[in-house]
Homo-oligomer: A and B are copies of this chain.
Amino acid sequence: MSTSRIEAFSDGVIAVIITVMVLELKVPRDTTLTSLLSLAPQFLAYLFSFLVVAIMWVNHHHLLHVARRADAPLLWSNNNLLFWMSLVPFVTAYLGNNYRDPRAVGLYGATLFLCSLAFTFLRSAILCHHRDEPSVFAYHRRVQRKNLFSGALYAAAIPLGFIDVRISYVIFVCVALSYFWPERKLAESEERGS
């Protein structure tokens, strides 16, 4: 059994997830600027979730690239990840409607935390294929640690939102942006190390 059909199926599911989110942007009845501006929270929630799902897709792409075989642990940790990702459109719409409510922010953070956890399981399942290659193993263990740290930050954002939801938002945005920045640093430190 090859990993290419898992990739194709995951691509399909993620493509639908990322696109049905826009269906939650309900078209306003009238065209006053006020009713359009009242969509801003939903739009920003959509924009951020699009970014988060796109990052997950890129990570998933990189991760499955090193998978050697489509065994049961890989298959089911992948399905587990897709399940938590499929909840993103729901929590995005919920957050967009109640962006000041710590419960909505907490539910959004909890979903991202569970996606992050599911990524950790998927990476572990794939790491098993590389026990005999120290360099690949070491690299992925480093990414794994970074992943766990992101997950811990998402988890921390849940209770912190009850103090002030803006703390949670800052955490969400920082974790997402961190994806773009330290990847290069990791690559550099890897190059220096080798």
| Residues on B with beta carbons closer than 8 Å to the beta carbon of A75 | 58
Kindly supply a per-residue 1/0 record for chain A positions 87-126, scoring 1 wherever the CB is within 8 Å of any chain B CB and 0 otherwise.
1011001100110010110010000000000000000000
Nearest B residue to A65 by beta-carbon distance?
Answer: B1
Chain B proximity of A16: nearest CB distance (Å): 4
- The segment from A24-32, A129-137, A149-157 that touches chain B is A24-32
Q: Is A192 an interface residue (CB 8 A)?
A: no
| Residues on B with beta carbons closer than 8 Å to the beta carbon of A62 | 1
| Residues on B with beta carbons closer than 8 Å to the beta carbon of A79 | 54, 58
A19 and B22 in contact, given A61-B1, A75-B58 (Cβ under 8 angstroms): no
Kindly supply a per-residue 1/0 record for chain A positions 2-42, scoring 1 wherever the CB is within 8 Å of any chain B CB and 0 otherwise.
00010111011111111111111101110101001000000
Q: Is the CB of A61 within 8 A of B19?
A: no
Size bracket of the A interface: 35 or more
| Residues on B with beta carbons closer than 8 Å to the beta carbon of A101 | 31
Interface on A for B, CB 8 Å cutoff? 1, 5, 7-9, 11-25, 27-29, 31, 33, 36, 47, 50, 54, 57-58, 61-62, 65, 75, 79, 82-83, 86-87, 89-90, 93-94, 97-98, 101, 103-104, 107
Query: What are 21 inter-chain pairs, A to B, with CB distance below 8 A?
Result: A1-B62, A1-B65, A5-B61, A8-B8, A9-B15, A12-B15, A12-B16, A13-B15, A19-B20, A22-B87, A23-B89, A24-B27, A25-B90, A27-B94, A28-B94, A31-B98, A31-B103, A36-B107, A50-B86, A54-B83, A58-B75
